[in-house]
Amino acid sequence: MQTSALGIESSLKNINLAVLIAASLFGIKGQNGEFGAGVLFVLLRYGGVSRAVAAVPMRANLRQLRKAGSYKGAEEMDVQT
């Protein structure tokens, strides 16, 4: 479970860094505006798709843990929500 969380976190950090670099290099105004907007679109699309793809194995792992009885939900761990 922690491995999935680390993978998602690193993916989000990489996407955020890529958006920052792309915005500073290309921008969406001026002479390279159309190209910069295209780069931004591709980065945001990749970020969304990677989050969706990462959710599939995470949900499968969660189902296996629930079947095995080793998953503790927030209510069982005494966590305030």
The pLDDT score that the predictor gives to residue 81 is 53
Per-residue tokens: 70: 């080793």
Sequence spans of domains, the chain: 2-68
Residue-wise pLDDT for 15-57, tens only, equals 888 888 888 888 778 787 888 888 888 888 888 888 788 778 7
Query: Quick one: CA torsion of 78, 6, 52, 64, rounded to 10 degrees?
Result: -60
The pLDDT score that the predictor gives to residue 10 is 78
Place of tokens 């080793």: 70
Query: Quick one: CA torsion of 74, 77, 80, 81, rounded to 10 degrees?
Result: 0
pTM for this entry: 0.60
